[in-house]
Amino acid sequence: MKKLLAFVLFGVVLGTLSGLTAFGQAISVNGGAIQGTITDTTGAVVSGATIRIENPATNFTKVITSDSSGFYSFGPLVPGNYKVVISASGFSSLTVDTVIRTGTATSGNFKLQVGSETTTIEVVAGALQINTEQAGVSDVLTQEQISKLPVNGRNFLDLAQIEPGVILQSGESFDPTKAGYSAISVGGVSGRTTRILLDGQDITDETVGTTIFNVSQGAIDEFQLNRANQDASGEVTSTGQVLVSTRSGTNAFHGQLFGNFQDHRAGFAKLKSFDVPFQRNQFGGSVGGPILPNKLFFFVNAERIKQDSSAVSPVGPTFSSIFAAHPTIPSPYRETYSTARLDWNGPLHGHYFARINYNVNSVSSNYGYGYWLYANRDNTPGGAFGADFSAGHFTHSFRGSYEKFHNLISDQTSGNSSIYNGIPGFAYYFTAQRLYSGPNYLAPQGTFQSDKQARYDGSWTRGSHNLRFGASVNRLLGGGFASFFGLAPRASIGAGLFTGPTAANPNALGCGGVAGAAACPSDPLRGYHISSMYIGNGQGAFTENPGFGMSNGGVFSWRYALYVQDSWKITPSFTLSAGLRWAVDTRRANQDIATPSCADVNSSLGFSCTGNLFDQWQSGLGKVVRQPYGNLAPQLGFVFSPGDHKWAIRASAGIFFESNVFNNQTNSRTGLIKAGLFNDEKLLCGGTYSMSFPDGTTVSSVNGTSIQTLCNSTPLGNSASSFIQLQNAYQANTTKTGPLSNGAYVGNNLYANNIYAPGFKQPYSEQWSAGIQRELWKGTVLSADYVHNSTIKVMQKVDVNHVGAARFLNATAARNAIAATTDDAGCAGGASAAAINCAIANGYTMTDFAGFGLDSANNVLGGPSILSFGATPNDGAAFAGQNPLLGNGNFLFPVGRSGYDALQIVFRQQKRNPFPGITNSNFQVSYNLSKIVTSAGGDSDQFFVGASSAPWNNDSPTAIMGRASLDRTHQLSFGGAVNLKYGPQIGMIGHFTSAAPTSMILDATNPAGDIFQSDLNGDGTTGDLLPFTEPGDYMHRYKGQNLNNAITKFNNEYAGKLTPAGQALVSAGLMTSSQLAQLGGVVQEIATAPSNGGINNAAFRSLDVNFSYPIRFPWLGESFSLEPAVAMYNVFNFSNFNNPTGTLVNTTHAASSAGYINGANTYDQHETNRVQRGSGTFSQGAPRATEFQLKLNF
């Protein structure tokens, strides 16, 4: 019914707005426009003036008249150079050469002089003009800039890098399917949510974010980035929006053939003293022209990248022998993209176009995980059409499009002798040392998506009002599979070093798990045991719905939008705009599926309740998740441009809603489906030493050896085969049990994970901006804007059962766990003080007690209820939460928030002969002074439900806010090109950015028993922030030079003391503070940083330049030239670095401290952190590369 109502609304609005009986002009995301007021030299309005708008390149012509207020407006117009001729009775004619830009209303305020109507006055407007019509904050990159900027790899999104507040990201940084893509972070928020439109149609990936396909740089005409308060006609986004227009043909044939070549033997800098193999051939071309002069035009473009490359292994110095044997990692890349477009000056004084595109790429990559190689292939066809026409007193703009994305990911480690693979068929890693071996846990995987779009834009001018309106509808389909952890178990060994003898324990296990042997930290197979591990069930579906020819995995959504916006030209110098947008995305929070009832609980669990199951975690959570249909987003702004319109004051405020990517929906759905085969994984080790199979069997040993022994006492090289065998049995049991029962269903395990709370709201931002633009002189504009973006209703994951919280100690379970531990130690007396002292004397630690249940249920049970293991709460974890019969209750509440404030200054110049010896210049300098804070765990990826959606304090999710990971206090970016009169053309792009922040957190690398060491606030989560600091404090209040001051302060005030969990044991009379201290069950002392200080996060520095020299052949035509060029990316080979982890390693783990901010600060460690080329063509901050280019322009 609601879908039908939305269709009816869409039709009614479309029909009603199409029938308005006044002259209509559309200005929207579909192109550019011109509007203004015609006055005489005294400022009096001139009504009835004839305005003739001409595009000389295509002979498109439109004639309109100014109304009684002297006002006129027309659009959308294809971006380009235009001639505007204004004539009126009693006045001399005025001819103005001006420029129309994408998404921009060009000023058409013109003054007529009294005189003969046969006299014509000619004026040339500057290529750069201030925006006197729009209150939002945006900039346009022109085709001239696009063609001359040195962009390595020619990725179209990389063009945004010279804009203030923009940080380029590799698409792979937030999803493996985006290897070979770029993303644009705007305002400190991940590029996942930046909305991207091509020719007015949305090409954003709805599953994970950024673009759904790449576009050849040679196919792009103009590129606009909206940084704040975008137009009401824009698509759904709370951050930035990109508007891209493709090139079209004209009455003159024009085009380009090009070839770019890079080779590591020619002008490349080395990395880690290695001359890394690399060769790229990038070639292609474009051509456009008339089919029917003045009527029908064509443009085609195609481009190919063939790249054979390798990356330097990021393995740290601890494993230098592995690096020496396998110093590089292969990363070949292939991409082909093409675009074809037809433009027609057709009936009804209209412009019509059709465009098709095709993009395919394949790349070997690793998602940033060293030797965990996978192969990624994307295949994306698409097409769009548009119609902008007028009939009588009306103009209309229609758009329609279709895109389909097809992705496949497969493993590339099996049988690959060129990479390190320590245990074939088994994955393991050590994050701080960047050692990753074995199959990538993300493979195999397939992601499919299609988007069918239709939109209408129009407007109605009456008096000094320009009323614009529109509607759009998208049918979005997603699907696929992802068998996470399906190829192999994945184990962490970072906290699993066999330390060998210590003063406290001379018989501690050392190399090979031998008591009393020395440690061997450089040998991952013999020197470490597993500290935590995941095993997968081999399935790949996340939904029960069919899609894309598969029986499951499908997701579906409709997006509807309506908007209306009025621009009121109160005076020729003052424009007031007000708008309202309504939009909705359906079924993005699993509103189509019923919440489970108590009757759905598996009877074998023995859990009894009535009503809705989710109400057992917290009253009210069992209510239906409502579809938010009331997303109304108002906006208000003004522009004041007095006098000669050489300066403008602008301000704007509005509300802008954010979407919810499909991945968020699918990641929260499997637990709601009662039956079916779906992806599921189990957490083991680190306190969890048993697991339940889908048929209800509980497994705690493999071939007679307990999982606890395999985890804690057995070297990785010996235990791996047992865990492979365990995973094979788990997958076979899943298949055998079949779809009749979903092991991940909340009714089977009483584990609610990533479940949308009933109060779901779409996140939205409140944006405010105010600024000034000044035309310093012709062709030179200076802008300064203050931008504020406050985002609320962001999803945050809160465990409402408060598992692990100190205030919910089950004393009986704790006593049983202590007794089981002392019995294992061979000590009599159960949970008595004497028995505990005996276990201490026998070398037992808090990790051993945790293994028997004296810990958080997060570790002991891994999320599910104790009932799913066939036991009772008294036999489970000591800290099992508010209701020990239930597992975790991780619900998603719309309580998260973030705030961004920035001063953005942009200086732009585009001018011919600006200085002696320079024939043409096009230059932009951007400065951004900003701060972004968030409650999302210190991460900038706040709209993705994952680790970043967990708050710093589970008991008070928004109590702690701090700097996000993409916060940069200072950003200076510049780019442009100059033509020397007697020399080459020189282009450049430069970036100088202050260091990224890091949150300083306590060491929680060994999960078992961590609530006694690093849970300072007692909320049940570990790895707390260093007290007296805020998120992102490192590189602000604290840096490497004074890091030891913070460490000393912490060690003096906190080290050796009890956490709330430890205090709970003491208060219950279960242990003494002395016993906890001897067991290591107290806050651990942080290891001091080296004498030369901690490792600072580095500032970012890069300068790219190119030199070209066009060779012209006048007898072949003015536009014919051969242009050889050389480009050098990071020409001065500035060293840029990835940041070390913010974990402050404690003295227990100090032997493996490399890679932490208080760890080894050596040259080798810095070299390990060096930034290098990413997947595809992404290379921000990488060592110097040189490219040889040749272009044939005609």
DSSP string of 330-356, one letter each residue: E--EEEEEEEEEEEEEETTTEEEEEEE
Question: Burial, 688: exposed, middle or buried (Cβ in 10 Å; 0-12, 13-18, 19+)?
Answer: buried
What is the residue type of 943?
Answer: F
Per-residue pLDDT band at 126 (split at 50, 70, 90): low
Residue identified by tokens 């950015």 is 993
Percent of the chain clearing pLDDT 70 (strictly above)? 96
Measure the CA–CA gap between 783 and 230, rounded to whole angstroms: 17
Using omega within 30 degrees of 0 as the cis cutoff, is the peptide bond preceding 1183 cis?
no
- Label residues 1007-1037 b or e (16+ Cβ within 10 Å = b): bbbbbbbbbbbbbbbbbbbbeebbbbbbbbe
Q: Evaluate if residue 1080 carries a pLDDT over 90.
A: yes
Measure the CA–CA gap between 368 and 174, rounded to whole angstroms: 10
Q: Evaluate if residue 409 carries a pLDDT over 90.
A: yes
Q: What angle do CA 311, 313, 318 make, to 5 degrees?
A: 165
Choose among 167, 232, 234, 169: nearest CA to 195.
234
The number of residues in the chain equals 1194
H or E stretch at 1112: strand 1111-1112
Choose among 1059, 1052, 1187, 1068: nearest CA to 1125.
1187
| Average per-residue pLDDT for the chain | 91
Tokens read off for 134: 């729009």
CB 851 within 8 A of CB 826: no
Choose among 983, 848, 981, 978: nearest CA to 909.
978
Q: Evaluate if residue 7 carries a pLDDT over 50.
A: no
Three-state SS for 143? Answer: helix
Q: Evaluate if residue 16 carries a pLDDT over 60.
A: no
| Crossing angle (nearest 10°) for helices 833-841 and 811-824 | 40
Per-residue pLDDT band at 392 (split at 50, 70, 90): low
Model confidence pLDDT, tens digit, residues 243-292: 999 999 999 999 999 999 999 999 999 887 888 999 999 999 999 999 99
966 Cβ contact list (under 8 Å, min separation 6): 167, 185, 188, 189, 190, 932, 940, 996
CB 659 within 8 A of CB 588: yes
Measure the CA–CA gap between 1180 and 1174, rounded to whole angstroms: 8
Question: Burial, 824: exposed, middle or buried (Cβ in 10 Å; 0-12, 13-18, 19+)?
Answer: middle
Model confidence pLDDT, tens digit, residues 717-775: 999 999 999 999 999 999 999 998 898 999 999 999 999 999 999 999 999 999 999 99
For CA atoms 735, 739, 745, 747, give the dihedral sign.
Answer: negative
pLDDT in the model for residue 23: 40
β-bridge pairing 182-186 and 166-170: antiparallel
β-bridge pairing 201-202 and 1111-1112: unpaired
Choose among 774, 565, 766, 767: nearest CA to 649.
774
Per-residue pLDDT band at 1151 (split at 50, 70, 90): low
More confident residue, 114 or 663: 663
Tokens read off for 965: 């990971």
Measure the CA–CA gap between 931 and 1030, rounded to whole angstroms: 14
CB 41 within 8 A of CB 114: yes
H or E stretch at 703: none
Three-state SS for 529? Answer: coil
Per-residue pLDDT band at 502 (split at 50, 70, 90): confident
pLDDT in the model for residue 1: 43
| Residues 893-902, mean pLDDT to the nearest whole number | 95
Task: Report the DSSP beta bridge partners of residue 63.
Answer: 52
Choose among 913, 928, 938, 1025: nearest CA to 969.
928
Q: Evaluate if residue 5 carries a pLDDT over 60.
A: no
| Residues 95-121, mean pLDDT to the nearest whole number | 82
Three-state SS for 103? Answer: coil
CB 209 within 8 A of CB 540: no
Percent of the chain clearing pLDDT 90 (strictly above)? 74
What is the residue type of 853?
Answer: G
Measure the CA–CA gap between 1082 and 1146, rounded to whole angstroms: 12
| Residues 836-857, mean pLDDT to the nearest whole number | 94
| Residues 772-792, mean pLDDT to the nearest whole number | 95
Tokens read off for 654: 């509005």
Q: What is each CA distance from 620 to 624, 805, 945, 994, in whole angstroms?
A: 9, 22, 22, 46
Measure the CA–CA gap between 1193 and 284, rounded to whole angstroms: 12
Q: Evaluate if residue 437 carries a pLDDT over 90.
A: yes
Q: What angle do CA 929, 933, 938 make, to 5 degrees?
A: 125
β-bridge pairing 752-756 and 889-915: parallel
Q: Evaluate if residue 438 carries a pLDDT over 50.
A: yes
What is the residue type of 602?
Answer: N
Q: What is each CA distance from 671 to 54, 544, 665, 1044, in whole angstroms?
A: 60, 11, 11, 45
Choose among 1136, 1135, 1156, 1134: nearest CA to 1145.
1156
pLDDT in the model for residue 21: 33
Choose among 452, 453, 454, 442: nearest CA to 480.
442
Q: Evaluate if residue 117 carries a pLDDT over 70.
A: no
Question: What is the longest distance spanned by two Cα atoms in the chain?
Answer: 115
Tokens read off for 172: 């792979």
- Ramachandran category for residue 284: left, alpha or beta (phi over 0 → left; psi -120 to 50 → alpha): left
pLDDT in the model for residue 842: 92
Per-residue pLDDT band at 962 (split at 50, 70, 90): very high
Question: Burial, 49: exposed, middle or buried (Cβ in 10 Å; 0-12, 13-18, 19+)?
Answer: buried
Poorest-confidence range of 49-63, 315-329, 344-358?
A: 49-63
Q: Evaluate if residue 4 carries a pLDDT over 50.
A: no
CA-only gyration radius of the chain, Å: 32
Q: What is each CA distance from 1182 to 312, 517, 1171, 1191, in whole angstroms?
A: 12, 42, 5, 26
Measure the CA–CA gap between 466 and 35, rounded to whole angstroms: 9
pLDDT in the model for residue 949: 81
The yes or no reply on domain 31-133 and CATH 3.40.50.300 is no
Poorest-confidence range of 253-262, 843-852, 1150-1159?
A: 1150-1159
pLDDT in the model for residue 35: 85
| Residues 803-817, mean pLDDT to the nearest whole number | 97
pLDDT in the model for residue 28: 59
| Residues 180-190, mean pLDDT to the nearest whole number | 92
Measure the CA–CA gap between 336 and 1108, rounded to whole angstroms: 26
Three-state SS for 280? Answer: strand
Poorest-confidence range of 125-134, 445-454, 603-612, 703-712?
A: 125-134
Task: Report the DSSP beta bridge partners of residue 6.
Answer: none
More confident residue, 1153 or 1036: 1036
Measure the CA–CA gap between 77 and 84, rounded to whole angstroms: 13
Measure the CA–CA gap between 995 and 972, rounded to whole angstroms: 12
Q: Evaluate if residue 8 carries a pLDDT over 80.
A: no
Measure the CA–CA gap between 55 and 61, rounded to whole angstroms: 7
Task: Report the DSSP beta bridge partners of residue 376.
Answer: 363, 409
Chain centre distance of CA 89: 57
Q: Domain coordinates of the chain in residue numbers?
A: 31-133
Measure the CA–CA gap between 32 and 103, rounded to whole angstroms: 5
- Tell if the pTM clears 0.85, that is, is over it: yes
Q: Evaluate if residue 25 carries a pLDDT over 80.
A: no
Choose among 111, 121, 45, 51: nearest CA to 82.
51
CB 973 within 8 A of CB 945: no
Residue 1146 DSSP code? B
Poorest-confidence range of 131-140, 400-409, 646-655?
A: 131-140
Measure the CA–CA gap between 959 and 540, rounded to whole angstroms: 37
| Residues 892-903, mean pLDDT to the nearest whole number | 95
Q: Evaluate if residue 1137 carries a pLDDT over 80.
A: yes
What is the residue type of 261?
Answer: F
Q: Evaluate if residue 177 carries a pLDDT over 60.
A: yes
